[in-house]
Amino acid sequence: MTEGPGAVPTTTSVEPSAAAPLVFVARNEYHDRVAQLKAEGFEMCADLCAVDYLSHPARRLPEGVVGERFEVVVNLLSLSMKRRVRIRVQVPESDPSVPTLFDLYPGSEAMEREAYDMHGVVFTGHPDLTRILMPEDWEGHPLRKDYGVGRVPVQFKEAPGPR
Protein backbone atom coordinates (compact mmCIF):
# COMPACT_ATOMS: atom_id res chain seq x y z
CA MET A 1 0.00 0.00 0.00
CA THR A 2 1.17 3.52 -0.80
CA GLU A 3 1.63 5.84 2.20
CA GLY A 4 1.39 9.61 2.66
CA PRO A 5 -1.17 12.36 2.09
CA GLY A 6 -3.13 11.94 -1.09
CA ALA A 7 -1.63 8.51 -1.74
CA VAL A 8 -3.74 6.08 -3.73
CA PRO A 9 -3.41 2.61 -2.22
CA THR A 10 -4.36 -0.17 -4.59
CA THR A 11 -6.71 -3.07 -4.17
CA THR A 12 -5.98 -4.98 -7.35
CA SER A 13 -3.67 -3.14 -9.68
CA VAL A 14 -2.53 0.34 -10.63
CA GLU A 15 -1.50 1.26 -14.14
CA PRO A 16 0.53 4.38 -14.81
CA SER A 17 -1.32 7.15 -16.58
CA ALA A 18 -0.39 10.68 -17.57
CA ALA A 19 -3.78 12.02 -16.46
CA ALA A 20 -4.42 10.12 -13.22
CA PRO A 21 -3.58 6.92 -11.40
CA LEU A 22 -5.66 4.07 -12.78
CA VAL A 23 -6.93 1.66 -10.13
CA PHE A 24 -8.53 -1.66 -11.03
CA VAL A 25 -10.74 -3.04 -8.26
CA ALA A 26 -12.70 -6.25 -7.90
CA ARG A 27 -16.46 -5.83 -8.10
CA ASN A 28 -16.97 -7.03 -4.52
CA GLU A 29 -14.50 -4.36 -3.30
CA TYR A 30 -15.77 -1.51 -5.49
CA HIS A 31 -17.96 0.39 -3.02
CA ASP A 32 -15.55 -0.01 -0.09
CA ARG A 33 -12.60 1.13 -2.20
CA VAL A 34 -14.43 4.24 -3.42
CA ALA A 35 -15.49 4.99 0.17
CA GLN A 36 -11.83 4.72 1.21
CA LEU A 37 -10.78 7.13 -1.53
CA LYS A 38 -13.47 9.59 -0.46
CA ALA A 39 -12.18 9.42 3.11
CA GLU A 40 -8.68 10.13 1.78
CA GLY A 41 -9.86 13.41 0.24
CA PHE A 42 -11.37 12.60 -3.16
CA GLU A 43 -14.47 14.67 -2.51
CA MET A 44 -15.98 14.74 -6.01
CA CYS A 45 -17.20 12.07 -8.42
CA ALA A 46 -16.45 13.90 -11.67
CA ASP A 47 -17.61 11.14 -14.02
CA LEU A 48 -19.07 7.65 -14.07
CA CYS A 49 -19.77 5.63 -17.20
CA ALA A 50 -20.09 2.10 -18.51
CA VAL A 51 -18.18 0.53 -21.40
CA ASP A 52 -19.16 -2.52 -23.48
CA TYR A 53 -16.12 -4.53 -24.57
CA LEU A 54 -18.09 -7.16 -26.52
CA SER A 55 -15.91 -6.67 -29.61
CA HIS A 56 -12.65 -6.36 -27.61
CA PRO A 57 -12.54 -9.35 -25.23
CA ALA A 58 -8.72 -9.63 -25.49
CA ARG A 59 -8.01 -6.01 -24.51
CA ARG A 60 -4.87 -5.27 -22.53
CA LEU A 61 -5.43 -5.47 -18.78
CA PRO A 62 -2.98 -5.67 -15.89
CA GLU A 63 -1.93 -9.05 -14.61
CA GLY A 64 -4.53 -10.50 -12.27
CA VAL A 65 -7.45 -8.58 -13.79
CA VAL A 66 -9.86 -10.78 -15.71
CA GLY A 67 -11.70 -8.87 -18.43
CA GLU A 68 -15.47 -8.99 -18.51
CA ARG A 69 -17.86 -7.73 -21.15
CA PHE A 70 -18.76 -4.57 -19.24
CA GLU A 71 -16.68 -2.16 -17.25
CA VAL A 72 -17.70 0.71 -14.99
CA VAL A 73 -15.24 3.61 -15.01
CA VAL A 74 -15.32 6.22 -12.24
CA ASN A 75 -13.24 9.40 -12.15
CA LEU A 76 -12.77 10.92 -8.70
CA LEU A 77 -11.36 14.36 -8.09
CA SER A 78 -9.71 15.95 -5.07
CA LEU A 79 -9.95 19.70 -5.34
CA SER A 80 -7.98 20.19 -2.12
CA MET A 81 -5.06 17.97 -3.25
CA LYS A 82 -5.40 18.84 -6.94
CA ARG A 83 -5.42 15.14 -7.85
CA ARG A 84 -7.51 12.70 -9.83
CA VAL A 85 -7.91 8.94 -9.71
CA ARG A 86 -9.70 6.67 -12.16
CA ILE A 87 -11.31 3.44 -10.94
CA ARG A 88 -12.18 0.61 -13.30
CA VAL A 89 -14.28 -2.37 -12.26
CA GLN A 90 -15.06 -5.39 -14.44
CA VAL A 91 -18.75 -6.32 -14.65
CA PRO A 92 -19.81 -9.71 -16.04
CA GLU A 93 -22.49 -10.01 -18.70
CA SER A 94 -24.21 -12.76 -16.68
CA ASP A 95 -24.76 -10.36 -13.74
CA PRO A 96 -24.28 -6.76 -14.91
CA SER A 97 -24.55 -5.10 -11.52
CA VAL A 98 -22.43 -3.08 -9.10
CA PRO A 99 -23.33 -1.22 -5.90
CA THR A 100 -24.48 2.36 -6.25
CA LEU A 101 -22.20 5.21 -5.22
CA PHE A 102 -25.20 7.46 -4.50
CA ASP A 103 -24.71 7.19 -0.74
CA LEU A 104 -21.11 8.44 -1.13
CA TYR A 105 -21.57 10.87 -4.03
CA PRO A 106 -25.22 11.95 -4.51
CA GLY A 107 -24.18 13.63 -7.79
CA SER A 108 -23.57 10.18 -9.30
CA GLU A 109 -27.33 9.55 -9.43
CA ALA A 110 -27.88 10.71 -13.01
CA MET A 111 -24.61 9.19 -14.27
CA GLU A 112 -25.60 5.76 -12.91
CA ARG A 113 -29.05 6.09 -14.47
CA GLU A 114 -27.44 6.85 -17.83
CA ALA A 115 -25.13 3.80 -17.57
CA TYR A 116 -28.20 1.70 -16.72
CA ASP A 117 -30.28 3.17 -19.55
CA MET A 118 -27.64 2.89 -22.26
CA HIS A 119 -25.76 -0.31 -21.23
CA GLY A 120 -28.06 -2.16 -18.83
CA VAL A 121 -25.65 -2.08 -15.88
CA VAL A 122 -27.73 -2.23 -12.68
CA PHE A 123 -26.60 -0.14 -9.71
CA THR A 124 -27.90 -1.99 -6.66
CA GLY A 125 -29.24 0.27 -3.94
CA HIS A 126 -29.84 3.18 -6.32
CA PRO A 127 -32.84 5.27 -5.14
CA ASP A 128 -34.44 5.70 -8.60
CA LEU A 129 -32.88 3.43 -11.23
CA THR A 130 -35.16 4.37 -14.12
CA ARG A 131 -34.45 5.40 -17.67
CA ILE A 132 -33.09 8.92 -18.10
CA LEU A 133 -32.53 9.28 -21.87
CA MET A 134 -34.84 6.73 -23.49
CA PRO A 135 -38.63 6.48 -23.06
CA GLU A 136 -39.72 4.26 -20.14
CA ASP A 137 -41.23 1.68 -22.52
CA TRP A 138 -38.02 1.38 -24.60
CA GLU A 139 -36.74 -2.16 -25.03
CA GLY A 140 -33.03 -2.85 -24.81
CA HIS A 141 -29.97 -0.73 -24.18
CA PRO A 142 -28.82 1.29 -27.23
CA LEU A 143 -25.08 1.49 -26.46
CA ARG A 144 -24.63 -2.26 -26.14
CA LYS A 145 -22.51 -3.52 -29.01
CA ASP A 146 -25.08 -6.21 -29.88
CA TYR A 147 -28.01 -3.79 -30.01
CA GLY A 148 -29.70 -3.89 -33.42
CA VAL A 149 -29.02 -0.91 -35.65
CA GLY A 150 -31.69 0.76 -37.77
CA ARG A 151 -34.73 -0.65 -36.05
CA VAL A 152 -36.28 2.72 -35.29
CA PRO A 153 -37.96 4.57 -38.17
CA VAL A 154 -37.02 8.23 -38.26
CA GLN A 155 -39.82 10.79 -38.56
CA PHE A 156 -39.23 14.40 -39.50
CA LYS A 157 -41.61 17.20 -38.69
CA GLU A 158 -43.68 18.38 -41.63
CA ALA A 159 -42.18 15.79 -43.97
CA PRO A 160 -44.56 14.49 -46.60
CA GLY A 161 -45.96 11.04 -45.80
CA PRO A 162 -45.63 7.99 -48.06
CA ARG A 163 -47.19 8.41 -51.51
> What does the pLDDT look like over 138-152, one tens digit per residue?
999 999 999 987 655
Q: H-type helices in 7-152, by residue range?
A: 30-39, 109-119
pLDDT-flagged residues of the chain (< 50): 1-10
How are beta strands 70-78 and 13-15 bridged, if at all? unpaired
The CATH code that applies to domain 13-124 is 3.30.460.80
Look up residue 65 and give its DSSP letter: P
Question: pTM score, two decimals?
Answer: 0.81
Per-residue exposure over 80-113, b if at least 16 CB sit within 10 Å of its own CB, e if not? eeebbbbbbbbbeeeebbbbbbbebbeebbebbb
Look up residue 29 and give its DSSP letter: G
pLDDT in tens, 91-109: 999 999 999 999 999 999 9
**Per-residue confidence (pLDDT) for residue 12, from 0 to 100:** 55
